[in-house]
Amino acid sequence: MVVFSAMTTMAEDGSRLWLRYEKVQKACVTGVECIAAQELRNYYDGERANLVIDTTMAQDAYHIEGTTISAKDEIGLLYGAYALMRGEEGYSAPQWQLRILNHWDNLDGSIERGYAGQSIFWEKGDHTERIKEYARANASIGINATVLNNVNASPKMLSAAYIKQVKKIAAILRPYGIKVFLSVNFASPMALGGLKTADPLDAQVAAWWNAKAKEIYKQIPDFGGFLVKANSEGQPGPGDYHRTHAEGANMLADAVKPYGGIIMWRSFVYGANHKGEDRVKQAVSEFVNDDGKFRDNVILQSKNGPLDFQPREPYAPIFDNMKRTPQMAELQITQEYLGQSRHLVYLAPMWQEFFRFVKPNRLKGIAGVANIGLDKNWCGHHFSQANWYAFGRLAWNPDLTSEEIAKEWLTQTFHLPTTKRDAVLSMMLRSREACVDYMMPLGLHHIFKFDHHYGPEPDGFKAEYPIEWCPVYYHQADSLGVGFNRSHTGTNATAQYAEPYRSLYDDVKTCPEEYLLWFHHVPWTYRLKNGHTLWENIQEHYHHGVSEVEDFLRIWQEVKTDFDEQRWQETQERLLHQLENAREWQKVCLDYFRSFAEKS
């Protein structure tokens, strides 16, 4: 048990996240002297605790019996200490050994798809204490690795000056069990090493990477390895030299192999090599012939859906097709396509939806694209903190329910009587489905405004853009109907799925309605299971999404007296903006689609 600080003791700006402990300095802690002992001594309200090293236990696992915590090493004890303070007991071990945050932070301090201020790693100034608190927060939920920079990586990241900075960051994170990784630019040997090529089969290129790996590991012996975005959205890669992804990844894998490093190679690849092919099919087309050809220290990292972090997507079929290649899932914590940090959208239900299709034991690890910055509340929206928390808890145990995790977070983050907590809990649990309803119901997708992906633009088309970046490409609305035909009569994207989903999705009569317009071009007059037409259902979903946000605001007013003023007011302002934006989505989308539907 822990004692949480009273609302009046400190400004409630959200800076303490869910770690809002009162310093009681009450417990007598015996056994191993480590950070876990310090945390328990400061914050645990029990009389005593005992920390025991048991080298027979699994890595990162802990066992809590009474007030005794056993673990293989000090990091396991730290995980156990936070679990004890959450009220856990018994044995617990993580589902995956690789539980990693991907930061899309740039070396100038900006963050791509970041909605919470500048980078805690690369913004000018001394952010040592902030990074230490970041490490502590991650350790409290079991996250054990981090990528410090953007997948659209600058070659400068591998220069001696920046490696020196990475060494300093690694030293802050290490005591909390967090390994550092770096995103790398595949053409770094040309930009930094003066080579005329980055061909992975060129001996000089391989030698450059070998030397760079040696340089990094000399500075940071526990360095994790590299994350690579190659031949995607203009990034260089092995395809520039008519080499395969396996050849590119294996060259890097050989460089880090002597030090125990790994390569996380992203499958988010589409574009020039697939002219005319449905974008959601391109990852499988790009990688399937490389299955089984990657080194054993390469992990293919794939987004949960086949497109791009949409409010709802079916699972990515690459998880069905790469049967001999280790894979990990990439989830997006930062809400690029879900209202960014302006909307309250709790993401655990979306991630659990993914795990219904892709079983956790098929994966080697899990990555979350983080939205953590220098804003006082870390994530831009007080409730966006819950998504960071939920990612960590699901990365440890994907069998936890969205409700269990939300209750944990609410209990640790706010002081609420049970009835008020349950009211706020209902907001969180309904919020993702509400967002889908007021943005893109029934399988509609990617109808956002260009570039920044905030707000609706269903009529979006720019001739200078590739067609697969344009909203009109995805909804295919005409006088006959709406939706993208990916069945065997269309692009045949359904063929990339394993059974039973291949047949289920291919038939408009059996396709789950939440994916209907993802896989089928459906007549406006087509009747859904509720007996209403498609057009009637689309209108009902948009109306329901808006009414849900109206209800969130009603609930928020009712709990006002149970919250500190600052966090209540800042959340209120966000909810008012969310309602305004939801109404915009409703009006713009229905006005646009009405121009087709009511002519049919």
Enumerate the active-site residues.
Answer: 233, 308, 336
Q: Are strands 522-523 and 481-482 parallel, antiparallel or unpaired?
A: antiparallel
- Strand pairing class (62-65; 90-92): antiparallel
In this structure, which amino acid lies at residue 509? K
Category of 146 on φ-ψ map: left (φ > 0), alpha (ψ -120 to 50) or beta = beta
Query: Beta strands of 198-323 (E only): which ranges?
Result: 225-228, 262-266, 298-303
Q: 196 is written with which tokens?
A: 């005329």
- Lookup: tokens for 61: 């696992």
Contact between residue 5 and residue 369 where contact means Cβ atoms under 8 Å apart: no
Q: What is the DSSP string of 428-486?
A: HHHHHHHHHHHH-GGG----BPTTT--SB-TT---TTS-GGGSHHHHH---SSEES---
24 alpha carbon, distance to own chain's centre: 35
Tokens of 225: 């390895």
Four-residue CA torsion sign, 128, 99, 303, 537: negative
The single-letter code of the amino acid at 254 is D
Question: Does residue 292 come out as left (phi exceeding 0), alpha (psi in the -120 to 50 range) or beta?
Answer: left
Helix (H, G, I), strand (E, B) or coil at 368: strand
Instruction: Count other C-beta atoms under 10 Å from residue 175's C-beta.
Output: 16
Task: Give the CA distances from residue 200 to residues 187, 194, 211, 299, 549, in Å, rounded to whole numbers and listed in that order.
Answer: 10, 15, 14, 18, 52
Return d(Cα 331, Cα 360) in angstroms, integer: 13
First-to-final CA distance of the chain = 63
